[in-house]
A and B are shown apart, each in its own frame.
Chain A
Amino acid sequence: MDKHRVAIRALDETRIAICADMDIVAARQCGRTLAAELGFSNTDATLIATAISELARNIVIYAKEGEITLSTLQKSESCGIVVVAHDNGPGIPDLEQAMKMGYSTSGSLGFGLPGVSRLMDEFKIDSRPGHGTTVTIKKWKR
């Protein structure tokens, strides 16, 4: 058996359609519930829920609709949570610039992506103008 192939696998999957601001609340509550079930600390569950909230809001604001998928990761004795935020919106023209744009203290708008990546252990973004955006974030249980 190829050890690397089975090292990380998604166990189950929860999909949440995102198209209105109520869905943002639903998505982050789902994330918190899953994190709690997996035995994440309350602090980590809050970080995960906050990250989901930010990604879901980006979908509502910039793409109007999309979906958030939550699943479980299993790697040797540790487990984790993976969140995929996907939309078919306009995409981000300058990813490098977007990753620099945080929230300034005056509260001007960015995509908030650097902040989201600070909340999680792993962060990956795939976006092209006209082809939508997919953000994948992971957090491992400590």
Chain B
Amino acid sequence: MQVPILKQGPYLIASIQSALSDADLMQLRDALVAKVSTFRSRGVIVDVTVLDVLDSFASRTLRDLVRMIKLRGAITVIVGIQPEVAFAMVQLGLTMEGVATALDLEEGIAYLDRATTRKAVIAGDG
């Protein structure tokens, strides 16, 4: 099940549509890292609203994705983690430290707008 990746201005939006296998998740990670270069994107949003389980593998893959994209100079935000999914993740001991999250797509875009502007200002000062 391929995840559609939409280009929205300087951002990429990966909107997960159904449950993903481990292979699907790894493919999403690799596709996003590649597309950040292709489109010279400054921000990435991964929308996980439909995922009813985020287990250790999914959490680790998302965290790896965020780090890889950061190394490519872009910022990632994960949006739409459901309340019961968040509860299960915390019980399992998955904290997703260092990963930016936002309530939904709208908040995610707002986060990227702020984060990429701040980055541009810092770069401008230097």
Contact = CB atoms under 8 A, between A and B. Distances in A.
A54 B56 CA distance: 7
A32 interface: yes
Contacts of A105: 95, 97
Interface string B45-77: 000000011111101100100000000000000
Range of interface residues on B (Cβ < 8 Å): 20 to 34
Nearest to B55: A53
A43 B84 contact: yes
A107 B92 CA distance: 12
Given A46-B52, A53-B53, A103-B56, A25 B92 contact: no
B55 A54 contact: yes
B94 interface: yes
B52 A32 contact: yes
A52 to B, nearest CB: 9
Contact of A50 (B83, B92, B95): B92
A103 B83 CA distance: 21
Nearest to B83: A43
A115 B93 contact: yes
A50 B21 contact: no
A30 B93 CA distance: 24
Interface string A11-33: 00000000001101100110010
Contact of B56 (A28, A46, A49, A112): A112
Contact of B19 (A25, A103, A119): A25
Interface string B1-41: 00000000000000000011111000000000000000000
B102 interface: no
A118 interface: yes
29 contacts: A21-B21, A21-B22, A24-B22, A28-B53, A29-B19, A43-B83, A43-B88, A45-B84, A46-B84, A46-B85, A46-B87, A47-B87, A49-B52, A50-B53, A50-B54, A50-B55, A50-B89, A53-B57, A54-B92, A57-B22, A57-B55, A57-B56, A102-B93, A103-B92, A107-B59, A107-B60, A112-B92, A115-B56, A115-B94
Interface of B: 19-23, 52-57, 59-60, 63, 82-85, 87-89, 91-95, 97
